[in-house]
Structure 1
Amino acid sequence: MGDWDFLYEMNERGYSAEEIADAAGCGVAPWQWKYVDREWVDSQLKDTPEDDVYSIGPCEPFESRDGFPYSILEQTEILQELVECAARHFENTGRYLQVWGELGEIYAEIKFGLRSHGTHTAGSDGTINGKLVEVKTISPEKSNDRVIVKSQGDFEQLLIVRIDQDFQFQGKLFDRSELKGAASKFLRGRLKV
């Protein structure tokens, strides 16, 4: 079962888009809360202002591309709607929409805290915890789990996102030093499934 399966189940059970977005933002379905340790949750939120929706930590404002602030909950709703649209298009036509890179980056923003650079910024897609990150997305059309990136990019980490034929997402972050081909024009990474 994928990371996002419970979102579809919530939709089928009649939860609102806001409730689904809240669950996606925290990664837990409402019926799973009884398994979450309350003391651990409280310890994680201890230094975070309660009304700070746009932050990734205490009092740190979050901005997306070109400085636009956004809500991670809104991004989660957008990702869900785009995935549903792409799945419907495939069911209707037998062809995939070619939106993989954007879906991968939105997933990276939600799941890994990617702070995207402005449009057309060369060398990396954004930062995660202050490190420059390149995001590469593997589409359902690809049968292998390997990616190639130009070694000239100034990224410090590579995030590989895999979207499977059921539109389930999986991702892993690699340090640049873990990639193969350091002496060549291209670096190679592999998301081992």
Structure 2
Amino acid sequence: MDADILNQAFYDDGEWVSWSDVEEQLQYQEWRAKYPNAIRSLIPYFEELLSLAESYHLETGRHLSVYGDIGELFGAITYGIRLNKNYAQGADGRLGNDHVEIKTITPFKSKDEVFVKVSGNFSKLLVVKINADFEVSSRMIDRSKLPKTAKPLLRIRWSDLPRIE
């Protein structure tokens, strides 16, 4: 048998399995262990969109308008948030009985902050941060723990959000 074939796949339980299939399954297991509520079916879309945004930026120096979608997919994958239809009024998704607003800090923002409409219909806020190295992290907070304001928009700084260990 050709050595190249053996480096790309192996025979297991009556069928050929590629190493990329094994790597993909290990990665899914890692997501599942870290995020037990993960919606695994969305992982490939998240990874491909993030990779596309990064490679486009490296190639052109410009950014695609996909970071909000990346943030929403990350929320769905990591927390199990069921996303609402595009442009649905209110929040971006549901987590159990809670309406969740998802805001994304993009890699090109000069400040790590987001603005949230106070009039929005949400009980939890998820802030997803995509840094300049295209690494993604998030922090969630109950609306009741947000500062009160009379202004229509509330500024939320990443550094003010509680860390989830």
Name the structure 2 match of 1:61: none
> What SS class does the counterpart of residue 189 from structure 1 fall into?
strand
More strand by share: 2
Q: CA deviation at 1:134?
A: 0.5
What stretches of structure 2 of length at least 5 have no aligned partner?
A: 1-18
8 Å CA contact 2:117–2:153 kept in 1: the answer is yes
Q: CA deviation at 1:99?
A: 0.5
Q: TM-score, normalised on structure 1? A: 0.65
CA distance in structure 2 between the aligned counterparts of 1:109 and 1:18, rounded to whole angstroms: 19
> What SS class does the counterpart of residue 144 from structure 1 fall into?
coil
> What SS class does the counterpart of residue 69 from structure 2 fall into?
helix
Name the structure 2 match of 1:134: 101
> What SS class does the counterpart of residue 108 from structure 1 fall into?
helix
CA distance in structure 2 between the aligned counterparts of 1:187 and 1:176, rounded to whole angstroms: 11
Q: CA deviation at 1:119?
A: 2.1
Q: CA deviation at 1:138?
A: 0.4
Q: CA deviation at 1:20?
A: 5.0
Q: How does 1:92-171 map to 2 (within 5 A)?
A: 92-171=59-138
> What SS class does the counterpart of residue 105 from structure 1 fall into?
helix
Q: CA deviation at 1:21?
A: 4.8
What stretches of structure 1 of length at least 5 have no aligned partner?
A: 1-13, 29-43, 45-55, 57-70
Q: CA deviation at 1:133?
A: 0.7
8 Å CA contact 1:181–1:188 kept in 2: the answer is no
Change (3 A) 1:27 1:15: farther
Name the structure 2 match of 1:22: 28
8 Å CA contact 1:24–1:76 kept in 2: the answer is no
| 1:24-75 per-position Cα deviation (integer Å, ceiling 9, x unaligned) | 53146xxxxxxxxxxxxxxx9xxxxxxxxxxx5xxxxxxxxxxxxxx92221
Aligned length: 140
> What SS class does the counterpart of residue 124 from structure 1 fall into?
coil
Percent of paired sites with the same residue: 34
CA distance in structure 1 between the aligned counterparts of 2:131 and 2:114, rounded to whole angstroms: 15
> What SS class does the counterpart of residue 165 from structure 1 fall into?
coil
State the structure with more CA Rg. 2
Once superposed, what is the RMSD of the aligned Cα atoms?
A: 2.2
The more displaced of 116-125 and 159-168 is: 116-125
8 Å CA contact 1:147–1:188 kept in 2: the answer is yes
1:190 aligned to 148, 153, 157, which one? Answer: 157
8 Å CA contact 1:151–1:185 kept in 2: the answer is yes
